[in-house]
């Protein structure tokens, strides 16, 4: 059993808080470690894990919780479900594994999840949502955050909903700036999130359409932090760029920024041209293989296609990338691309 990091708290963690969003099929331990290599201050989230599966001891789901305590802290496990007893059991499992916090998924609008009464369905059931928060808070001593959306079709009841969660004991609210009906269509609206922050005592983090460092600085506003998701797939370096941008903006406001600090930060985060990115791509593949064996290499295929998107002549090798079977094959493809 790994001991919990006693220093992590949403209320005291250094501002602005930068988070890697939980993304099903992407944010496994290998990817989280890559993100932390680039962005050391980032709070990383697991893929969403089923409370029902954890309550019944699913080995596959338990494997999803695996993390490197030396590299991945603060590490937050995201749980989804609707059964109170299973939420309690799952929360205790997460605490025993040594995670730094638990996030409750009340925002996933995927049809399969929503129709089961999980994820964003809880956004429409404030009573059960508050009960879940209270149950998890009473089950473990970990910080509990909630990730949700603006509402069904609008943000009309967002403040009321979040106040109930705060009263139930939520330590942080993470709000995606789209409605349930929007899913991932249209543009994220952060204005209701800024308004929400004025009504809550707990930290509020915004999410949605943060594609680069300029977006991050523009969207941060009065919030405690931002969460970045899809923009990191194929471009984990963006997290380092965002980290430097928002920290420098903070230091400039405090008249503390120094050229030496900025220089060090820039050297750490720049991916540069494609050749300079290769070592990190190979490191990612190596980690995936070490953690999952052959399955890790097969799961890397989607990352590889994303890494090479926009690279000159990459389309010539896409068919090979989606069929890669080993680290040796990946090395061979990269060598051909470079030479």
DSSP code of 14? P
Catalytic: which of 19, 39, 49, 108?
108
Inform me whether the pLDDT recorded for 2 exceeds 50.
no
Residue 162 among the catalytic residues: no
The pLDDT tens digits of the residues spanning 213-242 come to 999 999 999 999 999 999 999 999 999 999
Residue 308, helix vs strand vs coil: coil
Q: Name, in order, each residue with C-beta under 8 angstroms of 169's C-beta and a sequence gap of 6 or more.
A: 133, 134, 137, 144
Contact 44, 228 (CB under 8 A): no
| pTM, to two decimals | 0.92
Residue 78, helix vs strand vs coil: strand
Q: How far apart are CA 228 and CA 219, in angstroms?
A: 12
Tell how strand 101-106 and strand 204-207 pair up.
unpaired
Contact 305, 320 (CB under 8 A): no
Which is more confident, 320 or 136?
A: 136
* Structural domain spans, the chain: 17-253, 274-338
Contact 24, 149 (CB under 8 A): no
pLDDT given at position 85:
99
Residue 77, helix vs strand vs coil: strand
The pLDDT tens digits of the residues spanning 35-50 come to 999 999 999 999 999 9
Class of domain 17-253: alpha beta
**Token duo for residue 197:** 């922050």
Torsion, Cα 327 331 332 333, to 10 degrees, reads 100
Inform me whether the pLDDT recorded for 258 exceeds 50.
no
Tell how strand 43-45 and strand 101-106 pair up.
unpaired
pLDDT given at position 325:
95
Contact 173, 148 (CB under 8 A): yes
Inform me whether the pLDDT recorded for 4 exceeds 70.
no
Q: How sure is the predictor about 3, in pLDDT bands with cuts at 50, 70 and 90?
A: very low
The pLDDT tens digits of the residues spanning 47-96 come to 999 999 999 999 999 999 999 999 999 999 999 999 999 999 999 999 99
Q: How far apart are CA 219 and CA 211, in angstroms?
A: 11
Mean pLDDT of 289-313: 92
Inform me whether the pLDDT recorded for 251 exceeds 70.
no
Tell how strand 101-106 and strand 144-149 pair up.
parallel
Inform me whether the pLDDT recorded for 252 exceeds 60.
yes
Mean pLDDT of 169-180: 98
Share of the chain above pLDDT 90, in %: 82
Residue 80, helix vs strand vs coil: strand
**Token duo for residue 203:** 């930290």
Inform me whether the pLDDT recorded for 273 exceeds 90.
no
Contact 29, 291 (CB under 8 A): yes
Share of the chain above pLDDT 70, in %: 91
Q: How many CB atoms lie within 10 A of CB 61?
A: 19
Q: How far apart are CA 334 and CA 339, in angstroms?
A: 9
pLDDT given at position 271:
56
């Amino acid at each position: 059993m790994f001991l919990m990091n006693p220093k992590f708290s949403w209320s005291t963690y250094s501002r602005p808080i930068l988070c890697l969003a939980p993304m099903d099929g992407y944010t496994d331990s290998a990817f989280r470690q890559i993100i932390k290599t680039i962005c050391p201050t980032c709070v990383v989230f697991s893929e969403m894990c089923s409370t029902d599966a954890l309550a019944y001891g699913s080995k596959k789901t338990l494997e999803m919780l695996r993390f490197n305590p030396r590299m991945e802290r603060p590490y937050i496990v995201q749980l989804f479900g609707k059964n109170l007893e299973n939420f309690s059991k799952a929360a205790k499992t997460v605490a025993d594994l040594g995670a730094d916090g638990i996030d409750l998924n009340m925002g996933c609008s995927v049809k399969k999840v929503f129709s089961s009464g999980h994820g964003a369905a809880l956004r429409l059931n404030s009573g059960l949502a508050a009960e879940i928060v209270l149950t998890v808070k009473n089950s473990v001593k970990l910080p509990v955050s909630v990730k949700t959306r603006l509402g069904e079709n609008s943000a009309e009841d967002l403040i009321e909903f979040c106040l109930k969660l705060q009263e139930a004991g939520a330590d942080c609210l993470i709000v995606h700036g789209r409605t349930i009906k929007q899913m991932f269509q249209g543009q994220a609206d952060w204005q209701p999130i800024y308004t929400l922050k004025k009504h809550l005592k707990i930290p509020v983090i915004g999410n949605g359409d943060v594609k680069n460092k300029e977006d991050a600085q523009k969207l941060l506003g009065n919030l405690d932090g931002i969460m970045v998701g899809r923009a990191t797939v194929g471009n984990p370096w963006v997290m380092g760029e965002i980290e430097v941008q928002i920290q420098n903006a903070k230091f400039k406001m405090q008249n503390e920024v120094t050229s030496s600090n900025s220089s060090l930060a820039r050297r750490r985060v720049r991916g540069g041209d494609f050749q300079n990115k290769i070592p990190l791509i190979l490191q990612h593949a190596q980690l995936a293989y070490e953690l999952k064996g052959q399955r890790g290499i097969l799961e890397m295929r989607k990352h590889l296609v994303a890494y090479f998107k926009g690279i000159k002549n990459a389309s010539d090798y896409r068919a090979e990338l989606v069929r890669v079977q080993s680290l040796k094959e990946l090395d061979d493809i990269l060598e051909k691309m470079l030479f």
